[in-house]
Chain A
Amino acid sequence: MSRQDEIRELARVALSTGRVDYFIGWREAYNPSEVVPAFVDEPDSVDQLVWNDLCAHNLTTFLKRKMNDRPNAKVGICVKGCDSRTLVALMQENLVDRERLYVVGVPCDGLVDRRKLEKEFSDEIIDITTSNGTVSVTTHQGLTRDFPKADYLLAACGWCRYKNAVYADDVAGPPAEEADRHAKPVWTDVEAFEALSDGERDAMLEEIFATCIRCFACINVCPVCYCWDQCVNRSRRPELVSQKVDAKGNLVFQMVHMLHVAGRCPSCGACDRACPVEIPLSLLHRKMNKEIYDMFEFEPGAKLDEMPVFQCFKIEDAFGD
């Protein structure tokens, strides 16, 4: 059975046995090149669920407080390896009720970055299919071109060490082949950023944040960021964060997000993908992750029985070993 069929079957069973009230997976949107979160509440509707190289959405976003207004429902949810880490981060903080959750782990070999493909065309993409490592893209005007999948992976997939979920009740199909997940993380992008001089870094940050429109997509889509109306970034009286939309203010705005999710964000990349003006936000989050890894050898959301790094205190943190 293909992974897609496995997902459908697990969802069908969970819905028909009453294990869950609704099941969150992925489905196609208005054309097959767009995949969106799907909410299925009938066993008969599970065939809309898909699993393909475009299933990038981290669905754990929809477990956030105030997101779906059904606080007592039993929820089934698909998680890839990266998504499972945000789920674990939420569990570590007691922010989701494990009793109400049914988690289907979906082993993943890396997904396609639709935006990288968009840059190859001026026309609209209406279909994307993958087979044997080749991505086939069709545009609205009927042009079809092939690309090697390896060159069009999402950035987060490039350094992924968690191809399988770190927490799941069931797994859709056989596990993906994984290198050592306890190996030292790869930080090439962060190291390139760190190698810049202070002036260069300032200039780079100023440039990338000049286009921010403060739509809050990065914040709302972030599974571990859930203050909603209490967000300090929204505080107008007192004006704790300048509401003016300009490069410096936008950087402060993002710094607030960065610091509030530090030690909790496993860099799933949801913010990058949600940003309508394509700001590489996860660079900031990965920078924090590197600092935290170097200091505490801690990776957010990696182990369920671990205390989040900023919620525990070890004497050696203060005095060294």
Chain B
Amino acid sequence: MTIKYLAQDQLAAFLAHLAERARVVAPISEDGVVLFRNWEPGRQVDLEVLLAKQAPKEFMFPQTEEYLKFSYRMDTPVVDESAPPAGASDDGQVEAALPHEVIEVQAENAAPAQIIFGLRPCDARGFVQMDQVFGGYGGFYFDPLYNAKREATTLLAVTCRDPRSTCFCTAIGGCPAGHEGVDALFTQVDGGFTVEPLTEKGEAATDFAALRDASEGEAAEAAEVKVQATTRVDVPFEIDGVRDNLKANFEGTSWQDLCLRCISCGTCTYVCPSCYCFSVNDSLVETKGERYRVWDNCFNPTYTLETSGHNPREKKVNRFRNRFSHKFWYYQDKYDSLLCSGCGRCIMHCPTRIDIREVLRVMGAPAGVPEAAGAASNSAELPATDGKEA
């Protein structure tokens, strides 16, 4: 497909054009905090900050999502005293019609057209990884809510010009200019963007008068930006063998060292582009209620709490081990995909900076090695600290 070009000063017009037919979502800075928000004309898209605090997962898989509304009604048959009792038997006995409860249920599933602009290729890849679990892969459950939104959403990703030190997409098969899940890829070049439509949805979204064909120079610049960005992404661990090694190290003592500073909150999972766990709740006020799902996470101590009172992952270390094993071992076994796209948000936003790269370096290494590496989890790779005295 031909590469197009959009001038920077035409971006607002382009988004306004998109907003005429769909909800447009983009990274927007509010008091210095960049989050994906509804874009409206006049709002500034922030592409300077590489990663919005949260991945745009919320727009495909809302944190709180209603399944259905329900209400209870008590049906009490009206008895007409004057009329001869219907259904009276010969001996005059009346079979009483019992009041009974009626439950009315109304399913909810709204999926208006939406376009997410300014997400990064790792964010888009997160959706592709999540598609497996919600899309019925391997004969498992097909989730109509997620898939309706997925169907109605167009992903316009922007190449990561300046990857962060915490990025590691290339280590696990991704790329700062990756195409996986992306409908059209925008790359920032001098004065604007090159635009590569990659799917029909992407073609449709970028069919706009202000987009012209890119010149050879612009296309070459974009290609160079991509190469440069890709070479600058760190490869902090070797992915080959991680799955098998996690399995072999399941009982490894280094898990305990690695999780010491973890506070067992859910930040890593809620900023993650591919963590998808949720719980289902009923909320009932008098006779009306709703059933909804809400994000949950494997660090929540009640996440695996069973009705009996038994909790198979009662200890922090068990919950900690689960997150990494799930992403790189269990999920792969069940859905033939990793569950991590290497965005590094979990590292950046963890209150104690638990480092998934370090965890995989230690626990994803061949068994036997972790003993030595485990001690390193506390002490190795510490840069010199001279001159930092307070």
Contact = CB atoms under 8 A, between A and B. Distances in A.
A111 B388 CA distance: 12
Q: Classify the interface of chain A: helix, strand, loop or mixed.
A: loop
B281 A236 contact: yes
Contacts of A219: 265
Interface residue range, chain B: 35 or more
B351 A52 contact: no
Contacts of B388: 32, 50, 52-53, 129-130
Interface string A33-61: 01011111110010010111101010001
B302 interface: yes
B351 A221 contact: yes
B166 A30 contact: yes
Given A62-B261, A124-B164, A243-B294, A30 B353 contact: yes
Interface in B33-57: 33, 35, 48-50, 53-54
Given A40-B378, A45-B378, A234-B300, A4 B389 contact: yes
Given A52-B388, A131-B387, A69 B315 contact: yes
B352 interface: yes
A181 interface: no
Contacts, number: 175
Given A29-B355, A30-B347, A52-B388, A36 B261 contact: yes
Interface of B: 31-33, 35, 48-50, 53-54, 63-64, 162, 164-166, 257, 260-261, 263-267, 269-271, 279, 281-284, 292, 294-295, 297, 300-302, 305, 311, 315-317, 347, 349, 351-353, 355, 357-358, 375, 378-379, 381-383, 385, 387-390
Interface string A242-260: 1111100000000000000
A217 interface: yes
Candidate in A27, A126, A215 with the most chain B CB atoms within 10 angstroms: A215
Contact of A274 (B265, B283, B297, B378): B265
B389 A216 contact: no
Interface residues of A, number: 69
A141 interface: yes
Nearest to A229: B301
Given A28-B385, A246-B64, A215 B266 contact: yes
A31 B263 contact: no
A94 interface: no
B277 to A, nearest CB: 13
Given A29-B353, A31-B383, A51-B390, A239 B265 contact: no
A158 interface: no
Contacts of B53: 276-277
A211 B311 CA distance: 31
Contact of B352 (A36, A53, A119, A211): A36
A124 B166 contact: yes
A48 B162 contact: no
Interface in A250-283: 273-274, 276-278
Contacts of A214: 63, 266, 295
Nearest to B163: A140
A48 B378 contact: yes
Given A245-B294, A274-B263, A213 B63 contact: yes
Interface string A8-43: 000000000000000000011111101011111110
A124 B351 CA distance: 17
B305 A37 contact: no
Contact of B33 (A57, A108, A239, A277): A277
A100 interface: no
A278 B351 CA distance: 11
B352 A276 contact: no
A3 B385 CA distance: 13
